[in-house]
Each structure stands twice: as structure tokens, then as C-alpha cells.
């Protein structure tokens, strides 16, 4: 099963008010494992950059002025996505912007049922708890210290880790389901809690060196080269 963990950055909150997408980032998963293949594109919004938007993602109109317009990259984006499920935090926001841009180009729209909303997943699984990406990173002990600005590719990489944790780690089907367990009544709501202290490494120096050599052969596009 192919999935794309996706994020966009925009000049504002509503495309109906003239706001546009300025960055798209995506991380490919296959059977819930990162393949190392990513999509990343800065986009010229063809408009000014509000100060509040600059303060969020740190992208200036000067930086974006020589980047391609959405009309120049929209089809390539659709080709990358294909029919993969789109894993998005607050999916309605990103899908609304993407479909607005695609509609202005006269291209096919992305159906909402193609999206998996991790914000809705988090609110359902942890009712009453904060469900922002930063809050979920704290819950799962995921390092997001590089997230000084909201960057589409970095946020997609972080969200990929969060998503895999929410579905049961990198082997989501390994855990016993409540349908097949003999656990007593009242235990079906149990959820594992993050460890108070991370486990110490269990690999040897030789194993670590062999892994680093293997990742190096995959090139700079490998997810493991950027996410520790």
C-alpha cells in the first residue's frame, strides 16, 4: 500500500481570499515504511507575502520570486501523488488549498476520501489531549527541535513518524487486535504510554557503521539521512 505523508505552506487561511500555496512537501511510505522518496517544491504565489505568514514559515517573496508557479508544477505533483492515500494533519485545510489551485488550472481534483486526517485520528485516540503536531511529538518522544519554522518537507517527515506511531509503530499489524485477544472486559481502551526515558542503544559500533554505510549508498534523498 502506497501512502504520501503530505504538508503544504500557504500565504494565509483561505484561497477564496486570494491566498496561495508557497510550498509542498511529501514523504512516500510503502506498507507503512519510508521508501526514501520525497517530493518538495517551493512555489511562487504570484502575490505579496503577509507578515504573519512569513513569521510562520520564514519564506519571503524575494526568495519565492524565481520559483515556479503552481501552474507549472501542478501536473507533476498529481503524477507523484497518483492514487496513493494522502496522510495529512488537518487534511481539510491542505486539501481545500490543493483543490483550489488544481481547479484554477483546470486539472482533476483530489477526492477527500483519498486523505487520512491525522488530526482527527489524534483527537479520537487521545480525547481531551492536545493534538497539534508538536504535542504529538512530545507524546511519542519524537525529536522536532529542527522545527523552528513550519517547513513542508520537514513537517512531512515528522508527521510520518507520528503517523507510524499512531498506527502502532513501523509494524502496525504486529500488535494483537481487540477482536483476537482474550483480555478481560474494560481493557479494550488500553493504549501504550510513551517511555519516561528512552531505551539505551542495543547495537554495536560495528553494526552502526554498517548501517551508516548502507544509508550513504542510498544518497541524500534517503529519509534516514535527514531524520535522526
Chain centroid offset of residue 223 CA: 12
Nearest Cα to Cα of residue 61 among 22, 97, 25, 98: 22
Residue 59: how many CB atoms within 10 A of its CB? 23
φ, ψ (nearest 5 deg) of residue 26? -145, 145
DSSP 206-217: HHHHHHHHHHHH
Q: d(Cα 2, Cα 207) in Å, to the nearest integer?
A: 30
Longest dimension (CA), the chain: 62
User: CB–CB of 64/45 below 8 Å?
Assistant: yes
3-state class of 69 per DSSP? strand
32 is catalytic: no
3-state class of 85 per DSSP? strand
Q: d(Cα 94, Cα 101) in Å, to the nearest integer?
A: 11
User: CB–CB of 34/223 below 8 Å?
Assistant: yes
Q: Among the options 19, 57, 89, 150, which is catalytic? A: 150
Q: d(Cα 39, Cα 221) in Å, to the nearest integer?
A: 10
Active site residues: 150
Amino acid at each position: 500500500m502506497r501512502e504520501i505523508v503530505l504538508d503544504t505552506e500557504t500565504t494565509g487561511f483561505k484561497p477564496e481570499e486570494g491566498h496561495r500555496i508557497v510550498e509542498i512537501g511529501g514523504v512516500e511510505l510503502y506498507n507503512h515504511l519510508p521508501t526514501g522518496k520525497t517530493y518538495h517544491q517551493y512555489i511562487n504565489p504570484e502575490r505579496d507575502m503577509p507578515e504573519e505568514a512569513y513569521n510562520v514559515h520564514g519564506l519571503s517573496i524575494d526568495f519565492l520570486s524565481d520559483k515556479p508557479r503552481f501552474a507549472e508544477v501542478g501536473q507533476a505533483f498529481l503524477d507523484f501523488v497518483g492514487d496513493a492515500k494522502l496522510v495529512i494533519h488537518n487534511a481539510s485545510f491542505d486539501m481545500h488549498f490543493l483543490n483550489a489551485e488544481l481547479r484554477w488550472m483546470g486539472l482533476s481534483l483530489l477526492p477527500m476520501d483519498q486523505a487520512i486526517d491525522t488530526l482527527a485520528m489524534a483527537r479520537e485516540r487521545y480525547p481531551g489531549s492536545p493534538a497539534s503536531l508538536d504535542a504529538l511529538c512530545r507524546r511519542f518522544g519524537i525529536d522536532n527541535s529542527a522545527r523552528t519554522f513550519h517547513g513542508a518537507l520537514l513537517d512531512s517527515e515528522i508527521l510520518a513518524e507520528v503517523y507510524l506511531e499512531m498506527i502502532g509503530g513501523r509494524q502496525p499489524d504486529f500488535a494483537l487486535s481487540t477482536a483476537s485477544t482474550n483480555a478481560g472486559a474494560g481493557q479494550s481502551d488500553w493504549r501504550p504510554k510513551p517511555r519516561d526515558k528512552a531505551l539505551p542503544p542495543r547495537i554495536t559500533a560495528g553494526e552502526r557503521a554498517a548501517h551508516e554505510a548502507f544509508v550513504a549508498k542510498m544518497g541524500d534523498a534517503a529519509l534516514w539521512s535527514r531524520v535522526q
